[in-house]
């Protein structure tokens, strides 16, 4: 994950409780002064990031393994909001 700084919150899969984390890296070019909200795409992220390009957004960080915490991606929507996508696979 290069020079990304991250912290993960305790994960309680299938508990109905929010899981997640926070991250900072040079690749987060938009929203550097705001929080990036990660949405859950469990169990698989599949083609979610690729749909962003066709909808007019931009993939900033493609699907990237984050060890035991699954995978993540970061995208920018058409209104220039940074949105994270997370899955356990």
pLDDT digits over 11-55, tens only?
A: 677 776 666 677 777 766 655 456 677 888 888 888 887 788 889
Angle, vertex CA 48, rays to CA 29 and CA 13, nearest 5: 95
Find residue 64's DSSP bridge partners.
72
- On whether residue 14 sits in a domain, the answer given is no
How many domains, in total, are found in the chain? 1
Write out the residue range of the structural domain in which residue 35 sits. Answer: 25-87
Q: How far is CA 67 from CA 13, 38, 46, 51, 63, in A?
A: 16, 17, 17, 24, 12
Between 19 and 87, the higher pLDDT residue: 87
Residue 17 lies in a domain: no
* pTM higher than the cut 0.75: no
In the predicted model, is pLDDT for residue 69 greater than 70?
yes
């Amino acid at each position: 994950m290069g020079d990304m700084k991250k912290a993960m919150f305790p994960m309680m899969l299938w508990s109905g409780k929010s899981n997640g984390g926070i991250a900072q890296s040079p690749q987060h070019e938009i929203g550097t002064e705001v929080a990036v909200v990660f949405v859950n795409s469990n169990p698989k992220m599949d083609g979610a990031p690729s749909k962003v390009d066709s909808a007019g957004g931009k993939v900033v960080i493609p699907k990237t393994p984050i060890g035991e915490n699954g995978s993540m991606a970061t995208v920018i929507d058409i209104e220039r909001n940074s949105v994270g996508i997370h899955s356990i696979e």
